[in-house]
Every structure is written in C-alpha cells, then in structure tokens.
Amino acid sequence: MPKKIEPFYESLGSRIHGAREQKRLTQAQLGLSLQPPSTRASIANIENGKQRVLVHTLVQLAGTLGVGIQDLLPAAGSPNPEARPRDVERELKRKLNLDAPQLKKLAVAAHLSTASRGKQV
C-alpha cells in the first residue's frame, strides 16, 4: 500500500475527491477522462494523498471537474489543520535527519508556532 506524501497532496486529493463527488463521477470515469487515461486506483491514490499529480494532469482534472485549478489547490502557506506534533516530528526526522532530542524540540516549537498563528486575528 503506498504511503502518504506531503500534507499538500492530502489536501489537494481531498479537494479533487469533493469536486468529483459533486460532479457525480466515479474514480474510473475521472481517470478515463484524462490523456493519457489513468486507472481508478491511480485516482484513488491521488484522492488519498498517496500519489503526486503532474501539472498537465491537474489542468485536465480541473477541466473535467468543471472547476478552476485554484479551486483544487490548498491555500499557500496554510498549515495542515490535521497536523499533529507526531506528524511534524516524523517529517522533520525524515527530511533533516536529526536525533531524538533535537527532533522533539523542533516538533513542539513548530506545533506551538502553528497553533499561535491560528489564534491570531
């Protein structure tokens, strides 16, 4: 089973999923509308944030779904509201190769920073 990628792709996939359901298309129908066609499994992986989307595919998806590309993209710089300190910690470990104490400090700081930005008006 493919693993999830970055939170950006989870949010993008969720938006694609919502637009597809609103248009009342199956994953297979959406996949067949693309050039080259994609499988139902590939569309499922995109919707679940487990597969990246090429730009030309994103353009085709938006066209088929009758939405603008900007409607599918997550807002720039918006934190993932579902991100938990453990998720942040895992991502930092993977990308920065830090030891456990450094990792914990960064994860807590990132979570606190994100939480305080969410409370500001």
The structure tokens 């693993």 sit at 3
CA distance 48 to 57: 16
Give the pTM: 0.62
The residue ranges of every structural domain in the chain are 7-72, 85-119
The predicted pLDDT at position 96 comes to 74
User: Which of 50, 18, 46, 15 is closest to 31 using CA atoms?
Assistant: 46
pLDDT tens-place string over residues 13-28: 999 999 999 999 999 9
With respect to CATH, is domain 7-72 assigned 2.60.40.1080? no
